[in-house]
Amino acid sequence: MPRLQSRSRREAAFLELAKRMYCELEAWYDDHSQASFGEIESEARRRRRDLMGELLALLINGRDVGYQLQPPTCQECGQAMEFEKYRAWLVKGLEGDTELQRAYYVCPHCEGQTLFPPRP
């Protein structure tokens, strides 16, 4: 997933996802033309949950997720830490499941010291 997107890029990405969801629902309804309102609603609800999860990921991960040009300082030894990778974890929310990401830093000077996410 791309990181640090501008607001307009995040918005465009969301609109693309919403459009895809709508098109999928159209296709589903084409294949289930006898579906009741409740069945259509149920299908829409399931897809809405996926869409909301993706929306939240865009909204949160598209902003600052902890990467710093100037690496943070180790709280144990005072040396500069090194960026290792982005770590992801799944949050099961009320509206959808979202994979959040945070920058993960380690200290190469003291044993396995980590800071996750780095905070001042």
Give residues in contact with Zn ion (CB under 5 A).
74, 76-77, 107, 109-110, 113
Smaller CB distance to Zn ion: residue 77 or 91? 77
For Zn ion, the closer of residues 5 and 73 by Cβ is: 73
86 burial via Cβ count (<10 Å: 0-12, 13-18, 19+): middle
- In angstroms, what is the minimal distance from the CB of 25 to Zn ion? 52
Whether residue 64 contacts residue 5, with contact meaning beta carbons closer than 8 Å, is answered with no
Any idea how long the chain is? 120
- Comparison of 38 and 112: residue with beta carbon closer to Zn ion: 112
Nearest to residue 22, comparing CAs of 41, 44, 39?
44
Least Å distance between CB 78 and Zn ion?
7
Q: How far is the CB of 82 from Zn ion (least distance, A)?
A: 10
C-alpha triplet 64, 46, 42: angle, nearest 5°: 150
How far apart CA 35 and CA 98 sit, in angstroms, is: 30
CB of 96 to Zn ion, least distance (A): 38
In the complex with Zn ion, which residue's Cβ is closer, 42 or 114? Answer: 114
